[in-house]
Structure 1
């Protein structure tokens, strides 16, 4: 690790993507009503709220960073052929050191979640298991692979909601939203190397559209001010559909990759939209503040 420093190992963790995972937690808090509770009980609930938010934010950092680093470890031999510039095949990062780092990150994520409650701890364990399963098996499965990847993200959103286990029991089907969205990204991303996946691109676009309908429907059911979610959905559409349209038109790996990158970063906007649907536009804005941080990191580190 000393030879090349810490930077190659940071590259393995995809820092820009990690910020999108934090957005899952913050949106989960909105679904659980934690933001609203903190606002109305700021004297009694303030300290506990921030402690739980910190623990689960740290948890998702460990889970996501460890999971994506294991992805590069699992792909090291293939990357040596298709993406030799990546840290492990280029020799800038040791595979054995990366494995130790990834394992410690996953364990850290699980331990942090248990500081909130046992439900959160078990959910974090399930997310870690899903991530490693995808890295070594799921990504090679045409249908189950995208579902496996989507389950990682679904578990992450549920991890945020687990701050209020009684709410989680009632509203867990909301996890279908990140599952569908991330499954679409995973399906589209298979054209990043060779291109020519128009059917997958069209299918992904339809799945994205279903997310818009689901979030707007939730906002309509949850809040009389449901129209406040429209600006967030408008921003989401602006971010994901133009790159997708260009990828469909050109069928070139470069533009498919840009479409995937835009969709991954836009997970923050998906979460901001969900937060706005449940807790109003101010909380949506708070989640959206993570976007410029992720965009800045995306200029420094690879997203895919």
Structure 2
């Protein structure tokens, strides 16, 4: 499941919801809708990450034999059932909010399967497909207020960011992927500039505190990986790139004017870091 990663999904939908409220100039919806869409997002991520291991079972026997399926601790059939059940419950919860949320949830399921089954090992399509999974997860938060989906282009930011993290992960087994790391550094800078622009335009300048935390978390491990090109350092860059999603999403929430919610989302980070020490992230 990658428990630490699953928690980052909470911040995705809450960021999408906060941005939707900013554009629609309204407050947050009912707590029931928020709970339903948050749990739906977590289960969608769970299903996607489980099928990542299901589709990679053959390759992992060679590259990552310690993983649950190739090590024999989990049967591939059991993992598949678990992933399917996660997807089904996630879609049902999304439908409890509205039909638009259901359609976005179904799109996430399709994109997860396409990424894991077809696009993952493609040089260009892999990072883009993975990024689209996160972009759609942001739009799942937008879909709680369907009219806000006219601003769908905001979802391109997590697409760019996750594509850059996925690009870094290409070297987590063998290392020596300097060009990929340099490309991802450029994409990171683009994401930071976009966040800064929206923070300045919104007038909620305290968002720059959250953006600063995000920058610190992603930059140090990436620069170290660029220096050493060692697989272990590259894995750390990927790990902190994934976990830093929480701070990136907290930045979106803060610039939308919900600073208390942004602080609450930041509280997820310590728990994710603790879980990341007990369960693999990549």
TM-score range, shorter chain: over 0.9
Aligned pair partner of 1:32 in 1, 8, 20: 20
Tell me what 1:230 maps to. Answer: 208
Q: Is 1:183 the counterpart of 2:163 in the alignment?
A: yes
Aligned pair partner of 1:203 in 183, 191, 197: 183
Provide the rounded CA distance (Å) in 2 between the counterparts of 1:241 and 1:224. 26
Structure 1 position 78, deviation (Å): 0.7
Q: Taking structure 2 as the reference length, what is the TM-score of the superposition?
A: 0.96
Equivalent residue of 2:223, what SS? helix
Tell me what 1:80 maps to. Answer: 61
Tell me what 1:161 maps to. Answer: 142
Tell me what 1:23 maps to. Answer: 11
Q: Is the 8 A contact 2:8 2:245 kept in 1?
A: yes
1:84-163 equivalences in 2 (<5 Å): 84-163=65-144
Provide the rounded CA distance (Å) in 2 between the counterparts of 1:77 and 1:160. 35
Give the number of equivalent residue pairs.
281
Provide the rounded CA distance (Å) in 2 between the counterparts of 1:224 and 1:237. 20
Structure 1 position 283, deviation (Å): 2.6
**Whose Rg is larger?**
1
Q: Deviations over 1:146-187 (max 9, x none)?
A: 110000000000001111111122x11000110000000011
Q: Deviations over 1:215-265 (max 9, x none)?
A: 1111122x223x211111111111111100110111110100000000000
Provide the rounded CA distance (Å) in 2 between the counterparts of 1:280 and 1:114. 26
Provide the rounded CA distance (Å) in 2 between the counterparts of 1:159 and 1:279. 20
Provide the rounded CA distance (Å) in 2 between the counterparts of 1:238 and 1:118. 39
Aligned pair partner of 2:43 in 49, 62, 69: 62
Q: Is 1:293 the counterpart of 2:271 in the alignment?
A: yes
Q: Is the 8 A contact 2:8 2:243 kept in 1?
A: yes
Tell me what 1:45 maps to. Answer: none
Alpha-carbon RMSD across the aligned residues, in angstroms, is 1.4
Equivalent residue of 1:152, what SS? helix
Structure 1 position 296, deviation (Å): 1.7
Q: Is the 8 A contact 1:36 1:279 kept in 2?
A: no
Q: Is the 8 A contact 1:38 1:49 kept in 2?
A: no
Provide the rounded CA distance (Å) in 1 between the counterparts of 2:17 and 2:75. 37
Structure 1 position 282, deviation (Å): 2.4
Which 5+ residue runs of structure 2 have no aligned equivalent? none
Which 5+ residue runs of structure 1 have no aligned equivalent? 1-12, 40-47
Provide the rounded CA distance (Å) in 1 between the counterparts of 2:109 and 2:38. 15
Moved >4 Å (runs of 4+): 34-39
Q: Is the 8 A contact 1:30 1:36 kept in 2?
A: no
Q: Taking structure 1 as the reference length, what is the TM-score of the superposition?
A: 0.90
Q: Is 1:51 the counterpart of 2:29 in the alignment?
A: no
